[in-house]
């Protein structure tokens, strides 16, 4: 049913669970700044305490064991390890914390997958220009090398950057994630460019300095919805769907897996819109230069975060100012037959994952794939008997099985988002993605298993190790 040694995991990220925002010498990140500013996050909630995993790591480990996970995906906080972002000043207490997490996981036979950057840039680096500055690639590379050097004897799966598309678009175009900039139609492309340069530098460092000894794998995590034309017989909707893929998944996966450069569709759309609006100057989508690291081939596996699907209709998105939306010139539509879970953007479309996996196989040269995030959110009253979420997981996992068996996609692992309810960015704690419930107003912050957690544990114990149903 599943390949033997299939990775059965769950994922979290540092800012969303750790808290301890100033503990033991940690520096502030752009998310600390962003959520301390009123009006940015639901109910002005913050990540100051979150699930307090900085102090309650043992409780997380118990959850991981109760689920029987083979793998756990976490992120390390750059500003906890290097408070001002630079390697000159190392916070040893931060190093100790992650050493303990990693060692405890290994002692319980759980393999860590570590993300270096999950939205939480050290504020000190943002103040120097952050992702907008070309220097960030070298600073990120230094940080990555520090992590490979410090933890790489034990960590065999690395994700450099989580969802560069979401980071760039929500943080620098829409302004709803930190650092809250709305510099439309320009900065997100620049930020994405520097993220690719930073990622590629770190991959090359691993490849030449650490791989032989540490024998791990390095990638970056792409997010993509499954897109299909609203009217499959309308050629404008079909090309709009191609643009959607190009502007989300292709933006980052095409350079890394196919050509070393952005999809032609994307550059063409951006440049023709610039022309139409009389924007002079060079392309808003930067070009890679000979001084840049080679981008092509800088991923050892394909890491995919999948949540939902969209139908795509041509046009409609165009306005007369520069923006990513006008460049894209497409409108996303929800199919009324798709149920919505919790958050309004989250249509439940498990079969979209199978289709997307097939698309990835065909477009990106049949890579080894890890689904590094997939989940279902709950809002409103807490439902511990969350049978809808359970149904979602069980049908999604069966779509993954079909992708493997019937479509021949090389899927090697699946990580549920998330191990526990946590700080869901601009939605604060109002949107719950956990397999364990955490109530942020409970002084103990106890973790309570949802029904879906129990069912996920059953699936895992059924398929773990042999891949065959027991
Ligand atoms: C991902 N959107 O982010 C992240 O990797 C997680 O940290 C996050 O908790 C998870 O998905 C669930 O949202 C996203 O608004 C954040 O479209 C926002 C969006 C998509 C992904």
| Gap from CA of 211 to ligand 1 centroid (Å) | 30
Lowest-pLDDT range of 59-68, 198-207, 313-322? 313-322
| Gap from CA of 89 to ligand 1 centroid (Å) | 31
Model-wide pTM > 0.95: yes
Place of tokens 């503990």: 23
Closest ligand 1 atom to residue 345 Cα is 17
Show Cβ contacts of residue 205 under 8 Å, excluding neighbours closer than 6 positions: 141, 144, 145, 148
Helix H or strand E segment including 271: helix 264-276
pLDDT the model gives residue 318: 61
Q: What amino acid positions are annotated as catalytic residues?
A: 373
Q: Is the CB of 244 under 6 A from ligand 1?
A: no
Whether the per-residue pLDDT at 319 is higher than 80: the answer is no
CA distance 219 to 252: 12
Lowest-pLDDT range of 281-285, 378-382, 400-404? 281-285
Whether the per-residue pLDDT at 243 is higher than 90: the answer is yes
What end-to-end distance do the CA atoms of the chain give, in Å? 11
Q: Is the CB of 424 under 6 A from ligand 1?
A: yes
Q: Two tokens at 274?
A: 């610039």
Burial of 276 (0-12, 13-18, 19+ CB in 10 A): exposed
Length of the chain: 470
Q: Is the CB of 417 under 6 A from ligand 1?
A: yes
Q: How far is CA 418 from the centre of its chain?
A: 12
pLDDT averaged over every residue in the chain: 97
Quick check: 377 and 307 in contact, CB under 8 A?
no
Closest ligand 1 atom to residue 119 Cα is 7
Task: Name the pLDDT band for 346 (thresholds 50, 70, 90).
Answer: very high
| Gap from CA of 371 to ligand 1 centroid (Å) | 14
| Gap from CA of 10 to ligand 1 centroid (Å) | 15
The phi, psi pair for 132, rounded to 5°, reads -80, -20
Output the CA torsion 309→315→318→323 (10° steps).
40
Q: Is 376 helix (H, G, I), strand (E, B) or coil?
A: coil
What is the mean pLDDT of the segment spanning 334-360?
94
Residue with CA nearest ligand 1 atom 19: 166
Quick check: 359 and 306 in contact, CB under 8 A?
no
What is the mean pLDDT of the segment spanning 247-253?
98
Percent of the chain at pLDDT exceeding 70: 99
Q: Is the CB of 163 under 6 A from ligand 1?
A: yes
Helix H or strand E segment including 227: strand 226-229
pLDDT the model gives residue 125: 99
CA distance 333 to 355: 18
CA distance 410 to 220: 17
Whether the per-residue pLDDT at 147 is higher than 80: the answer is yes
State which of 16, 163, 221, 346 you would mutate to test the pocket of ligand 1, scoring each by most atoms of that ligand within 8 A of its C-beta. 163
Other CB atoms within a 10 A radius of the CB of residue 281 amount to 7
Nearest one of 117, 126, 118 to 180, comparing CA atoms: 126
Whether the per-residue pLDDT at 470 is higher than 90: the answer is no
- The DSSP output letter for 31 is H
Largest CA distance in the chain: 64
CA distance 435 to 414: 14
Whether the per-residue pLDDT at 466 is higher than 90: the answer is no
Show Cβ contacts of residue 407 under 8 Å, excluding neighbours closer than 6 positions: 354, 357, 358, 361
Q: Where do the domains of the chain lie, and which CATH numbers do they carry?
A: 7-224+347-462 (3.20.20.80)
pLDDT (tens digit per residue) in 89-115: 999 999 999 999 999 999 999 999 999
- Helix boundaries (H) for 82-130: 92-107, 123-127
Quick check: 424 and 431 in contact, CB under 8 A?
yes
């Amino acid at each position: 049913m599943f390949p033997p040694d299939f990775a059965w995991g769950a994922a979290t990220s540092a800012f969303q669970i750790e808290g301890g925002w100033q503990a033991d010498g940690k520096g502030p990140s752009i998310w600390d700044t962003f959520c301390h500013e009123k009006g940015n996050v639901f109910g002005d909630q913050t990540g100051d305490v979150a699930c307090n995993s900085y102090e309650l790591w043992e409780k997380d480990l118990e959850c991981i064991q109760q689920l029987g996970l083979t793998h756990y995906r976490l992120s390390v906080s750059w500003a906890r390890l290097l408070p001002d972002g630079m390697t000159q000043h190392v916070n040893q207490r931060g190093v100790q914390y992650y050493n303990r997490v990693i060692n405890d996981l290994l002692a319980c036979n759980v393999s860590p997958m570590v993300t270096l950057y999950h939205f939480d840039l050290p504020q000190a680096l943002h103040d120097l220009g952050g992702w907008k500055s070309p220097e960030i690639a070298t600073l990120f590379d230094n940080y990555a090398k520090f992590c490979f050097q410090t933890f790489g004897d034990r960590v065999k799966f690395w994700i450099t950057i989580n969802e560069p598309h979401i980071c760039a678009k929500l943080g620098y175009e829409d302004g709803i994630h930190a650092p809250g900039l709305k510099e439309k139609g320009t900065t997100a492309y620049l930020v994405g460019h520097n993220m690719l340069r930073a990622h590629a530098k770190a991959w090359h460092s691993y490849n030449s300095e650490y791989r032989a000894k540490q024998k791990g794998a390095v990638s970056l995590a792409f997010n993509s919805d499954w897109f299909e034309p609203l009217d499959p017989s309308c050629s404008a909707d079909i090309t709009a769907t191609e643009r959607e893929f190009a502007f989300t998944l292709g933006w980052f996966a095409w350079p890394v897996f196919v050509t070393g450069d952005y999809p032609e569709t994307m550059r063409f759309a951006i440049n023709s819109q610039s022309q139409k609006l009389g924007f002079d100057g060079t392309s808003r989508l930067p070009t890679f230069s000979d001084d840049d690291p080679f981008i092509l081939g800088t991923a050892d596996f394909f890491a995919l975060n999948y949540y939902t699907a969209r139908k795509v209709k041509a046009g409609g998105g165009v306005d007369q100012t520069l923006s990513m939306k006008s460049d894209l010139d497409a409108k996303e539509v929800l199919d009324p037959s798709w149920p919505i879970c919790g958050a309004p953007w989250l249509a439940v479309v498990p079969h979209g994952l199978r289709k997307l996996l097939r698309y990835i196989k065909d477009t990106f040269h049949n890579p080894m794939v890890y689904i590094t995030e997939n989940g279902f959110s709950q809002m409103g009253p807490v439902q511990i008997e969350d049978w809808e979420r359970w149904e979602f997981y069980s049908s999604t996992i069966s779509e993954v099985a079909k992708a493997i068996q019937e479509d021949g996609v090389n899927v090697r692992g699946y990580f549920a988002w998330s191990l526990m309810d946590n700080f869901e960015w601009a939605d604060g704690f109002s949107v719950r993605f956990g397999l364990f419930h955490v109530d942020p107003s409970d002084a103990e912050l106890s973790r309570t298993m949802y029904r879906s957690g129990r069912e996920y544990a059953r699936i895992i114990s059924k398929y773990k190790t042999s891949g065959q149903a027991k």
